Amino acid sequence: MVLEAPSIKAKTTITWEPLPANFILPDDPVENIQQTALAAALTDALGASGYIQPEMLIGSNLGLVATVNKKIVVKAPDWFYVPQVHSVPEGVIRRSYTPNTDGAAVTIVMEFLSEAEGGELSIRSTPPYGKLHFYEQILQIPTYVTYDPYDSSLEVRYLQDGRYILHPVDNQGRLWIPQLELYLGIWSGERLGQTMNWLRWWDKSGNLLLWSSEQAEQERQRAEQERQRAEEERQRADREHQRAERLAAKLRELGIESEP
């Protein structure tokens, strides 16, 4: 008889330690120009609409740090959100973020899928950890969003009972992001001279959160409308004045003096 030894899964120990000053962060290149533009547009709309507060942290390609079995692991998502962080001393630039040490846990993370396999949906549970495994099992981030700009596919996964559960979009093609109480969806159009399928925010009432450039254009149009109204009022007043002048002249011709 052959006895088989039971498989033994090593216990994973996770600690939250500040990143050593001499630690060399990965310097992976951005895989396509859309990634930077998508992240910037998401943050811009939140800021322009007053959703960003000083205690929050919204980052793009900033390393999220965890120490797993005494080894430092760093992943830099395309976009992430932390509701409250500790401030850094004046003049110090934040080069990474360690949850539960530098502030609260990360609550939203987004990855924009690349043409090549980038591990955004990888569940690899051994080093180098897949991103989905890292966000789900190590950082335990409540909301994980993935967007494929090549086929306009948007997915959101909520952490439930320790596992990510994929949730479908609503009948408008949008996804609810509970941590911000906003909807996220795809919008086709132009921003800063770049036309593509963007990720945009909508509030509970279905109102689109405008980018700062859109708000500026909206304000310009409002100012132009005010200028046009003022010009029309001036022209109306001029016409009234001219009519009164003509009437006074006619009365004088008839020998009638108009009352002042």
Q: Any idea which residue has 């949730």 for tokens?
A: 167
So what's the pLDDT on residue 29?
Answer: 58
So what's the pLDDT on residue 3?
Answer: 44
End-to-end alpha-carbon separation of the chain, Å? Answer: 125
Whole-angstrom Cα distance, residue 34 to residue 13? 36
So what's the pLDDT on residue 9?
Answer: 54
Residue type for position 187: W
Across the chain, which has 260 residues, the per-10-residue mean pLDDT values are 48 90 74 84 97 96 94 94 94 92 97 73 88 96 94 93 93 94 96 94 97 90 79 82 81 71
DSSP codes of every residue in the chain? --PPPPP-PPPP-EE--PPPTT-----PPPS-HHHHHHHHHHHHHHHHTT---TT-EEESSPEEEEEETTEEEEE--SEEEES-BPPPPTTPPP-EE-TTTSBSPP-EEEEE--SS--STT----SSSPPHHHIIIIIS--SEEEEEETTTTEEEEEEEETTEEEEE---TTS-EEETTTTEEEEEEEEEETTEEEEEEEEE-TTSPBPPPHHHHHHHHHHHHHHHHHHHHHHHHHHHHHHHHHHHHHHHHHHTT-PPP-
Q: For 201, left (φ over 0), alpha (ψ -120 to 50), or beta? A: beta
Backbone dihedral angles phi then psi of residue 46, each to the nearest 5 degrees: -65, -45
- The token duo for 12 is 């994973």
So what's the pLDDT on residue 8?
Answer: 47
Give me the torsion for CA of 67, 18, 15, 99, rounded to 10°.
Answer: -100
* Helix axes of 33-48 and 212-253: crossing angle, nearest 10 degrees: 50
Kindly report the pTM of this predicted structure: 0.83
CB 75 within 8 A of CB 36: no
Using alpha carbons, select from 27, 117, 14, 23 the residue that is nearest to residue 69: 14
